[in-house]
Amino acid sequence: MGILTIVTFLPLIGVALILLLNQGENESEDKIRWLALGTSAVTFVVSLIVLAKFKTGVGGLQMVEQADWIPSWGIQYYLGIDGLSILMILLTAFISLVSIAASWTAIGHQIKQYYIFMLLMEIGMMGVFLAQDLFLFYVFWEFTLIPMYFLIGIWGGKERIYASIKFFLYTMAGSLLMLLAILYMGIKGGTFALPDLIAGRAAFADVQNILFLGFAIAFAIKVPIFPFHSWLPDAHTQAPTAGSIVLAGVLLKMGTYGFIRFNLPLFPEASVHYAPAIAVLAIIGIIYGALVSLPQKDVKKLVAYSSVSHLGFVMLGIFSLNEAGIQGAILQGVNHGLSTGALFFLVGVLYEQRHTRLFSEYGGVWKAMPVFSVLALIVTLSSMGLPGLNGFVGEFTILLGSMGAASLGPNPWIYTAFATTGVILAAVYLLWMFQRVFMGPLDNPKNKALRDINTRELTIMLAFLLFIFWIGIAPSGYFALMDSSVAELVSNIGTAVVALP
């Protein structure tokens, strides 16, 4: 059994062990928590082993595992990792670990089921990033919906049922088009293995614009690209804290990852063809998301809309179709997972004490929670893209990519200029958020009793901050991980598209 299978299915052991425990007694509730935490911690360690075994400077797939699954249809169990997915694997392992630790006191009922769903979620996400067979990918892709559906639907807020059903149906509807495209290619090509399909992409080059859209809509809903974002504020506001962290941290990245992994190499001409259109949508998303964030009354909703803005940057980077843009996009995906995940966690800490997320209930929290506030400030700045912190590194690399993007025609600076206004708008809504919660007089008597951050929460935050600073100050190691794969991808697109428009 290869290491990739282990890293994917390891959480199953945790699930089995948790199933054996009785629910209800305090003692075994703690046991469930520790078991879930332990499992995800071990998975994180295994993902680090994957990192240690990963060879930089090699473009293709590594640690490949291949076995027949349904031979008559050419469907395989096919896992592999390369520079496009290594960071996503690490992010998944990290976010899962952190979100399980973040649920310690926040989840009070049906603990057993909760942690089982969290671990199942991890399996699904790992599988999405590792599968190299389209059919296997689709199975994992749909599988992730189920635990998240229950996480929102059972442990969510007041309108959790509406939100969870909307989340499920919306993403499901998009995926069906992708399934059609997958089946078409798989049946025509006689195989579902991605590398084989890429090699034989000439077979369906004539319909690639349609196939591209089939994939693109599924991924666009997941990202979400404007105007497919309407499920996001509902899902984020209703999900429990850990659900929001996973949703923002990893699930949205499945969409951007999908574009890089499938759309670009399978349909290079179509990618170039649609690049300006998607870039325009991405830029609308950047500006629109930032503007809509501003008047929100609910902290979580603000952060949710800010995701639309941030993910707009990622999409712009991808469809710059050059090395800087794509690498910036992958890294910005990680950055968004870290900063937005941390923001959701911090909101969760406040929510656990005050049971409200309305701005009007807060103000002057800095006076009551100095340590917490400083941490929140750093995370806010990271989300704003302050240089020296992680957000800037991704954002700048993306803007660098889009400024030099041949895919955006002879005047890429127009796109870049509009996208860069996101920098101002981000400052507007994030500082407004920070002021309404943390600054001003501490005049709500309920806030005076707030306790500052405790050791568990501080540990989680320090883990976030470690990466926020690390990526901000010395990101070259992160770029080294993906550089070769991205360079190969870009040169593939370049050779496929000999003459750009």
Partner 1 sequence: MRVITYFFMNAFNLAPLILIFPLIGVLANGLVGRRFVETDRKTGEVWSGWFGSLMAISSFVIAALLFFSLRSQEFHAEVIYLFDWFNVPSAGFRIPWALQVDTLSVTMMLVVTGVGSLIHIYAIGYMHGDPDFSRFFTYLNLFLFFMLILVTGSSYLMLFVGWEGVGLCSYLLIGFWFDRVDETGHPMNATAGRKAFVANRVGDLAMILAMTLTFWTFGSLEFNTVFQSAVELFEKGHMVEFGLFSASLGSVLTAVTALFLMGAAGKSAQIPLYVWLPDAMAGPTPVSALIHAATMVTSGIYLIVRSNVLFEIVRASGSLILGVISAPDLVAYTGAATALLAGMIAFTQFDIKKVLAYSTVSQLGFMIAAAGMGAYVAAMFHLITHAFFKALLFLSAGSVIHGMEHGHHEIAHGDHHDDGFDPQDMRMMGGLRHKMPTTYVVYMIGALALSGIVPLAGFWSKDELLSHGSDNNFAVYLMLALAAFFTAFYMGRQLKMVFFGEPRHAAAEHAHESAPLMTRPLIVLAALAALGGFLNLPYFTEGMAAANQHKPGGIFLGLEGWLEHSIQSFELTAEGVLHMPHTSVVMSRSVAGLSTLLALAALAWAFYGVYGKKPKTADERDPLQSTPIWWFAILPLNTFYMKGVIPLFNRLAHWLGYALDWDFWHDFVHNRLIRDPFVGFANFAADILDTQGVDGLVNGAGKTVRRLASVIRLSQTGYARNYALSILLGAVALVAYFLLMVN
Smallest separation (angstroms) from partner 1 to the CB of 325: 9
Nearer to partner 1, 40 or 335 (CB): 335
Specify the residue for token string 């923002």. Answer: 248
Neighbours of 31 (CB within 10 A): 15
| Rounded-to-integer distance, Cα 87 and Cα 110, Å | 33
Nearer to partner 1, 186 or 385 (CB): 385
- Told to check if 459 binds partner 1 by CB under 8 A, we report no
List 125, 324, 453, 496, residue binding partner 1 (CB under 8 A): 324
Smallest separation (angstroms) from partner 1 to the CB of 64: 23
User: Interface mask (CB under 8 A) for partner 1, residues 239-278, using x and -?
Assistant: ----------------------------------------
| Residues contacting residue 382 through CB under 8 Å, at least 6 positions apart | 335, 338, 339, 342, 389, 390, 391, 468, 472
CA angle 460-462-465, nearest 5°? 115
Smallest separation (angstroms) from partner 1 to the CB of 309: 12
Q: Which two tokens stand for residue 108?
A: 């009070």
- Told to check if 72 binds partner 1 by CB under 8 A, we report no
Buried b (16+ CB within 10 A) or exposed e, 71-82: eeebbbbbbbbb
- Told to check if 420 binds partner 1 by CB under 8 A, we report yes
Region from 29-37, 45-53, 311-319, 407-415 binding partner 1, contact rule CB under 8 A: 407-415
- In the region spanning residues 471 to 500, those forming contacts with partner 1, defined by CB under 8 A, are 473-476, 479-480, 483-484, 486-487, 490, 500
List 38, 195, 404, 494, residue binding partner 1 (CB under 8 A): 404
Nearer to partner 1, 268 or 412 (CB): 412
Region from 14-22, 105-113, 428-436, 453-461 binding partner 1, contact rule CB under 8 A: 428-436
| Rounded-to-integer distance, Cα 24 and Cα 48, Å | 35
List 85, 306, 332, 397, residue binding partner 1 (CB under 8 A): 397
Smallest separation (angstroms) from partner 1 to the CB of 483: 5
List 157, 195, 276, 409, residue binding partner 1 (CB under 8 A): 409
- Told to check if 439 binds partner 1 by CB under 8 A, we report yes
Closest by CA to 152, choosing from 91, 107, 211, 190, is 107
- In the region spanning residues 5 to 34, those forming contacts with partner 1, defined by CB under 8 A, are none
Q: Answer whether 33's CB lies under 8 Å from 25's CB.
A: no
Q: How distant, in Å, are the alpha carbons of 130, 131, 175, 284 from that of 137?
A: 8, 5, 11, 30
Q: Answer whether 95's CB lies under 8 Å from 249's CB.
A: yes
Closest by CA to 220, choosing from 177, 162, 163, is 177
Region from 31-39, 105-113, 130-138, 321-329 binding partner 1, contact rule CB under 8 A: 321-329
| Rounded-to-integer distance, Cα 353 and Cα 245, Å | 18
Smallest separation (angstroms) from partner 1 to the CB of 419: 10
Can the peptide bond before residue 195 be classed as cis, meaning omega within 30 degrees of 0?
Answer: no
- In the region spanning residues 280 to 319, those forming contacts with partner 1, defined by CB under 8 A, are 288, 291-296, 305
β partners of residue 75: 70
| Rounded-to-integer distance, Cα 134 and Cα 304, Å | 30
- Told to check if 337 binds partner 1 by CB under 8 A, we report no
| DSSP state letter for 319 | T
Region from 14-22, 30-38, 242-250, 423-431 binding partner 1, contact rule CB under 8 A: 423-431
φ/ψ of 403, rounded to 5, equals -65, -35
- Told to check if 455 binds partner 1 by CB under 8 A, we report no
What SS3 state is found at 83? coil
Total residues interacting with partner 1, rule: CB under 8 A: 71
| Rounded-to-integer distance, Cα 113 and Cα 319, Å | 40
List 77, 184, 432, 469, residue binding partner 1 (CB under 8 A): 432
- Told to check if 411 binds partner 1 by CB under 8 A, we report yes
Smallest separation (angstroms) from partner 1 to the CB of 370: 7
- In the region spanning residues 183 to 242, those forming contacts with partner 1, defined by CB under 8 A, are 227, 230, 233-234
Nearer to partner 1, 196 or 298 (CB): 298
